[in-house]
Structure 1
Amino acid sequence: MARSSSVATARSRFRTVVRRLSAALAARCSVDLRALAAFRIGLGALVIADLIRRSRSLSAFYTDDGVLPRSALFADYGEVYSVHALVGEPWAVALLFALAGAFALALLAGYRTRLAALASWLLLLSLHARNPMVLNSGDSLLRMLLFWSVFLPLGARWSVDALRRAGAGTDADAAAGAGGSERDPGADDGDESATAGPSGSAVATVATMAVLIQVLLMYVTNGIHKRGSDLWMDGEAVAYIMQADHFTYLLGNHLAEFTGLLRGLTVLWIALLFASPLLILLTGIPRAAIASLFVGMHLGMAVTMPIGLFPIVVVVGFVPFFQTPVWDAAERAVDRFGPPAALERWRARLESVGDALASLDASIPRPTPSGALAGLRARVGRGRPLLSTVVPYVFLVLIVLSSAQAVGYAETPDPAENALETVEMDQHWRMFAPDPTRTTRWFVTVGTLADGTERDVLRDSPVEFDRPPRAEATYRSARWRKYLGNVASTDNENHRSYLANYLCEDWNRTRETAVENVTIHQQYERTDPYNGSVVAANGFELIEYDCSGEFIQDE
């Protein structure tokens, strides 16, 4: 009897420990449904903003008339899984942009949310594969956040899908946690594998854990890379970055002289990187406080460095870190003070549009599926809980392995590496690491015209090799800066010919006096942040290109 009693006691204690550990894990992985709704809106808005910004260079970067025609793409990259690579005309690429924008708008509104998230991710993956030379870390993070969004109940709140469920008498929280018996594969009816978080308005799943860890891995990996840099560890890095004029604008153009402040910002940033595991270990208000520090730093980057949408992508990625206490407090504040009248009007309009869309969707007649099709749908429905758990779990393990490999702590097996490469989920995160950018760089594209004169054919301006007053203004956009920096890399000699050929053809299509020869130079100057003296200055020729010669011309 005594032995049986002790065994029962041990089992009871074990179950208690397991329950406590499970509750602790759920508390750290839970995401409020309102946070997921805001996250969804942010992702949709980001994709739309990204498409608008890319459309300014649509012809240059994504058509056969641009810097990477499809013949060059296939020659350099082999198999390319991209629907954007099936077409080369500007009008066809514009249609794909419009299609992606439509799905992003559906994602923003929460209409057929899961389908919209999946389509947005696939189209973004395709767009990125069309021209890898223009991608930055913001593109990588947005692509990864969209991947994880496919497995999250993004449409449980503040969405057309939620209105449709309300009309059908289905509670949003119940849908997010348990799902319904009649499921629409395009809509977001929630996640059957979800378990309730510490609050009924939160969910904790493998996917919620994965999206949080995805953001965390970016900081942990980047912090380990930076740990090997004396400039970062000594607190000097940001002061040197502010000397790279092509990476500064707005407030960044005025901060270079405040070296003490920049040193403090360097120390603070390194401290945040090393403290980033607290983003998972802490919960509630303490987690929100740490997340707010990261958000503040990235908003500071947005007004000092022209690095595209990267800071805003990160800010959206932090939305799931704000847990239920934060959203409850925000709702109490709104209830107490009341929303602004303009916001009320906008909310009323959006609700009206959402109701109209939900009614329109419900009124569309749908054919009754045949017995075989109904059986297939039933089998797919039964398999969804397994799929929504297994796929995120597998890729969560893979991204952790990939991050460990990026910093030399592990090796990713070849099959795992192939899977990561297929969906572009490799984890590198070398932003300004291990050593920061500290040299101002600009490009000069000397075009010799048919009348013997010379012109900078990239900017249609007089040829000038001296350091410009504002180096960032010599680039058409942050994406052009990224592209030109990659062209200058020693691994991309062919792309120098592609760029020169584009400059020749683009000029000759639109000007009366033809260009016969293009020579591309990269100039650079390094300045000491403490005394302003020029430490190094030089330039070199990347390629001299005959506009009437072969497509690829070697030096």
Structure 2
Amino acid sequence: MERTDPAPAPAGQRVLDRMSMLIALLVDRPVSLYAAAVLRIGYGLLYLVFLLREFPHRDEIWGPGSPWTPALARQLFDQTEWFSVLTLSDSRAYFETCYAAAVVTSALFMLGWRTRAVSVLFAVVVASFHARAVFMTDGGDNLFLLMAVYLVFTACGRRWSLDARRKAGAAVDGDRHRRRFREFRDTASTVLHNCGMFVIAAQVCFLYGCAGLYKVQGGSWGNGTALHYVLNLDLFRPWPALSLLLDEHPVAVAIAGYLTVLLQVAFPFVLFGRLKYPVLLMLVSLHLGIAVLLGLPVFSGVMIVADAVFLPDRFYRSLGSLWPKTFPPGGSWTTRLRFRRESALVPNQPGPAG
């Protein structure tokens, strides 16, 4: 008796199976929690450093003393429908209060304290400062704003945060109604988180793909001279001697230009294989070169942090296992420090007489 292969499933059944798999992927568990935590820490730290770096120039950039006055900004908002909390008042005291609140919000977001609420405040801060000085921004600011909005929908405070430490020691409530509400809340949070992380990954893919395809259309990228012109722009040359030194090697500069286009165009197509790891490493090197050679550290930092979304959680867990155990499971570092101090105050007890 001959063995017959089972008949293939109908097309409609295959579609339903794929939809079921997609729904399960969105609902079952939150994905890339460690990557979301890295995005939160990276962007919170980056914006905190950015605000502190520009602290001496805050009035000229965003304050009442800026050449782009609050009145001009409000006129622009009437046309663009943007909004900024910095233009609600022309008072210097109000501006200084907003600036201090932005610094505190960035620090709390980085640390993951009350992340759900603070993430909304962080998005408002980034949007307000971006809109207030919209003519002094670059591509990094645009991506920063998008990522700040996307992170509002993610559970970026579940790992490596003060919220995670607080919830680890919280008692579990056994009330049935509260348990059902908690299950509903967790399911809704999981769906929002997964959708948010997928949107972040898609945003980065679109950014790289569009940037690469745009470069392909340019003649200077096609003949390998694009980076030569970039290295000779006085506006983007913080280290002229270094730029001139690199420009003395035209073949290497042309290869670097072709490699840049190839990496950006190929990036969306290598995400589901191991080839993405060397590609990510080369992209990080590319952004570091942009930060040093073109003087765009914020743009490079935003892109490097965005690339972290494509690394799996097992990679970040392995990093966590290598990190010094500052908070050991036997107690917090403050508890152990207090125990050591108390032990030092207790005199040594004499041993039994020999």
Normalised to the residue count of structure 2, the TM-score between the two structures is: 0.77
Match for residue 265 of structure 2?
A: 274
The equivalences for 1:144-543 within 5 A come to 144-169=146-171, 181=180, 192=188, 194=190, 205-250=194-239, 251-278=242-269, 280=271, 282-283=272-273, 285-331=274-320, 334=322, 339=323, 343-344=324-325
Match for residue 371 of structure 1?
A: none
What secondary structure is seen at the aligned counterpart in 2 of 1:276? Answer: helix
Distance change >3 Å, CA 220–CA 15, structure 1 → 2: closer
Is contact 1:279-1:291 (8 Å) kept?
Answer: no
Deviates more, 1:292-301 or 1:110-119: 292-301
Deviates more, 1:60-69 or 1:17-26: 17-26
Distance in 1, Cα, partners of 2:202 & 2:15: 27
What secondary structure is seen at the aligned counterpart in 1 of 2:147? Answer: helix
Match for residue 63 of structure 1?
A: 63
The count of aligned residue pairs is 315
For structure 1, which runs of at least 5 residues remain unmatched after alignment? 1-5, 171-178, 184-188, 196-202, 354-555
1:169 deviation in Å?
4.4
Pair 1:34-2:37 in alignment: no
1:194 deviation in Å?
2.6
What secondary structure is seen at the aligned counterpart in 1 of 2:224? Answer: coil
Distance in 1, Cα, partners of 2:248 & 2:293: 14
1:64 deviation in Å?
2.8
Distance change >3 Å, CA 227–CA 317, structure 1 → 2: same
Identity of aligned residues (%): 23
Q: Which has the higher contact order (CA 8 A, sep 6+)?
A: 2
1:94 deviation in Å?
2.1
1:117 to 112, 116, 119: 119
Name the one with the larger strand percent: 1
Distance in 2, Cα, partners of 1:11 & 1:76: 53
Distance in 1, Cα, partners of 2:60 & 2:84: 17
Kindly provide the CA deviation profile for residues 267-309 of structure 1, in whole angstroms up to 9, marking residues without a partner as x.
10000111021254x15x4333322221121112112111241
1:76 deviation in Å?
4.5
Is contact 1:278-1:290 (8 Å) kept?
Answer: no
Is contact 1:155-1:161 (8 Å) kept?
Answer: yes
1:24 deviation in Å?
11
Is contact 2:64-2:91 (8 Å) kept?
Answer: yes
Match for residue 108 of structure 1?
A: 110
Is contact 1:142-1:313 (8 Å) kept?
Answer: yes
Distance in 2, Cα, partners of 1:96 & 1:166: 33
Distance change >3 Å, CA 160–CA 100, structure 1 → 2: same
Is contact 2:228-2:250 (8 Å) kept?
Answer: yes
**Aligned AA (1:94):** E
Distance change >3 Å, CA 190–CA 95, structure 1 → 2: farther
Kindly provide the CA deviation profile for residues 487-540 of structure 1, in whole angstroms up to 9, marking residues without a partner as x.
xxxxxxxxxxxxxxxxxxxxxxxxxxxxxxxxxxxxxxxxxxxxxxxxxxxxxx
Distance in 2, Cα, partners of 1:84 & 1:294: 36
Deviates more, 1:85-94 or 1:225-234: 85-94
**Aligned AA (1:18):** R
Match for residue 3 of structure 2?
A: none
The equivalences for 1:67-78 within 5 A come to 67-78=67-78
**Aligned AA (1:258):** H
Is contact 2:267-2:276 (8 Å) kept?
Answer: no
What secondary structure is seen at the aligned counterpart in 2 of 1:255? Answer: helix
Normalised to the residue count of structure 1, the TM-score between the two structures is: 0.51
1:9 deviation in Å?
5.3
Pair 1:43-2:43 in alignment: yes
Distance in 2, Cα, partners of 1:151 & 1:19: 23
Distance in 1, Cα, partners of 2:255 & 2:23: 39
Kindly provide the CA deviation profile for residues 442-477 of structure 1, in whole angstroms up to 9, marking residues without a partner as x.
xxxxxxxxxxxxxxxxxxxxxxxxxxxxxxxxxxxx
**Aligned AA (1:222):** A
1:97 to 84, 96, 99: 99
Distance change >3 Å, CA 77–CA 165, structure 1 → 2: closer
For structure 2, which runs of at least 5 residues remain unmatched after alignment? 1-5, 173-177, 335-354
Runs of 4+ in 1 over 6 A off after TM superposition: 23-26
Distance in 2, Cα, partners of 1:60 & 1:232: 37
**Aligned AA (2:112):** G
Name the one with the larger helix percent: 2
Is contact 1:252-1:303 (8 Å) kept?
Answer: no
